[in-house]
Amino acid sequence: MLKQVEGSHSTAEAIALCRPEVICAYPITPQTHIVEGLGEMVKTGDLKNCEFINVESEFAALSVAIGASAAGARAYTATASQGLLYMAEAVYNASGLGLPIVMTLGNRAIGAPINIWNDHSDAMSMRDAGWLQLFAESNQDSIDLHIQAFRLAEELSMPVMVCVDGFILTHAVERVDMPTQADVDAYLPPYEPVQVLDPKDPISIGAMVGPDAFTEVRFLQHYKQTLALRLIPELAADFKTRFGRDTGGLLRTYQAEDAEMLVVAMGSINGTIKDAIDEMRADGFSIGLVNIVSFRPFPTEALRRLMAGRKHVVVVEKSFAVGMGGQLANNVDLALRNTPAAPQVHSVVAGLGGRSITRASLHRVFRRAMAQPWEGAHFLDLNEDIIGKELHHVRKVRRSGPTAENLLRRLDQAAQATAAE
């Protein structure tokens, strides 16, 4: 059914269609509207046979989900940013125990400095915690990927994190096609756990494991992620057959068939990149897009096949590792390493802390990649003027003060000077 609705509310409806039995909720912007919506559905009886548990922290939310999943319930929770960091121990526990929890991550920057706007710092902080990570481009994607996530999690007995860009998607009102309960029931069978705490058949889940078996446990985690490289496209194909929408599987492309340059990105920024690509192709540039849907597991072989024969690869990402550079660019570079005539990978860090990414800025950086390749990370629209002034100030003054406040003061001074002209 077509409807015009806020992204958080449509995501909540999709999760309810998956018939979760335990929802563990703690509010944090920008995902709060999701768990609020689910709580309302439980209260009104629209979501039946579900226990909605308010907890005292994000750590408690995932810990309760772990207990519920181990007891045999279909479990769900959601968080963002600092909330995910507060969950960190439980994030590793959920994957290490092989529990098929689904969690929505309303992607948001991690402080300090304090920032509530969107980037992918939170998802990247837990990229190697053993969870499958799927990134939504649109609110329709968020609906479709959550439905697939429950089936994926339960077939592999692994947790899945569905990453939805905070505010850009969670608070945006879009037209979406909401599936019917009957169609979701036909796609997602009732949950049948592979392990369960049962007093009639007592077992331990989470036993102490020493050096003699710890490596093997970790290897089997990795092995299940490699199985997901096959299963994700299969589930996406089945979803397309039943619902008529293509979520891409591991990745999807746009105008990529004949492109000499391919742009690689994740999440909602793909929409803006598509617009920029259309404009550049109209001007005669050979450029296309690769939208990474599955960041974990990473689609190495699929990327290698796509990149064969290309001249340039530009990775646009909303996070970076301080002291190293872009995490997505590093993964792409590793995937292409040792392949014949591998194209140079250009890293573009953009949109940190919610900064706008414009088509004009993308035009400039894509054209530069074709004409003047660079090493390392390029920071899109970096204000080099205030950077230079701050570095000069730090070199001259020992007690130079807090960096963030210094930069804000310089921006305010520049704005006042412009207004006075």
DSSP letter for each residue of 290-324: EEESEEES--HHHHHHHHTT-SEEEEEES--BTTT
Residue 373 has a pLDDT of 86
Contacting residues for 324 by C-beta, under 8 A, at least 6 apart: 330
* Distance, CA of 290 to CA of 301 (rounded, Å): 14
Q: What is the mean pLDDT of residues 184-208?
A: 94
Residue 225 has a pLDDT of 97
* Distance, CA of 216 to CA of 243 (rounded, Å): 39
Residue 318 has a pLDDT of 98
Residue 420 has a pLDDT of 85
The region that residue 64 occupies, defined by phi over 0 for left and psi between -120 and 50 for alpha, beta otherwise, is alpha
Would you say residue 419 has pLDDT above 90?
no
Q: What is the mean pLDDT of residues 99-117?
A: 97
Percent of the chain with pLDDT over 70: 100
Classified as helix, coil or strand, 255 is coil
Q: What is the mean pLDDT of residues 225-246?
A: 98
Look at strands 287-292 and 160-165 and give their pairing.
unpaired
Q: What is the mean pLDDT of residues 54-67?
A: 98
Residue 14 has a pLDDT of 98
Query: Could you tell me the pTM of the whole model?
Result: 0.97
Residue 320 has a pLDDT of 95
Helix (H) or strand (E) holding 283: none
Q: What is the mean pLDDT of residues 370-398?
A: 94
Return the sign of the alpha-carbon dihedral for residues 414, 419, 420, 421: positive
| 8 Å CB contact between 58 and 24 | no
Residue 417 has a pLDDT of 87
Would you say residue 414 has pLDDT above 90?
no
Residue 207 has a pLDDT of 87
Residue 58 has a pLDDT of 97
DSSP string, 29-60: TTTHHHHHHHHHHHHHTSS-S-EEEE-SSHHH
pLDDT digits (tens, 9 = 90+) for 63-105: 999 999 999 999 999 999 999 999 999 999 999 999 999 999 9
* Distance, CA of 241 to CA of 239 (rounded, Å): 5
pLDDT digits (tens, 9 = 90+) for 347-372: 999 999 999 999 999 999 999 999 98
The CA-atom distances, in angstroms, between 417 and each of 373, 412, 420 are: 36, 9, 5
Q: What is the mean pLDDT of residues 159-175?
A: 98
Q: What is the mean pLDDT of residues 262-271?
A: 98
Residue 292 has a pLDDT of 98
Would you say residue 421 has pLDDT above 90?
no
Q: Which amino acid is at 300?
A: T
Would you say residue 153 has pLDDT above 90?
yes
Would you say residue 418 has pLDDT above 90?
no
C-beta atoms surrounding 5 within 10 Å: 18
Residue 180 has a pLDDT of 98
Q: What is the mean pLDDT of residues 113-137?
A: 98
Q: What is the mean pLDDT of residues 401-412?
A: 94
Q: What is the mean pLDDT of residues 33-37?
A: 98
Q: Which amino acid is at 222?
A: H
Looking at residue 80, the DSSP 8-state letter turns out to be -
The chain-wide mean pLDDT, for the chain, equals 96
Residue 85 has a pLDDT of 98
Q: Residue 129: name the closest of 221, 250, 30 by CA.
A: 221
3-state secondary structure 108-165: CCCCCCCCCCCCCHHHHHCCCCCCEEEECCCHHHHHHHHHHHHHHHHHHCCCEEEEEE
Looking at residue 325, the DSSP 8-state letter turns out to be B
More confident residue, 344 or 366: 366
Strand order in the sheet with 132-135: 51-54, 22-25, 75-79, 102-107, 160-165, 132-135, 294-296
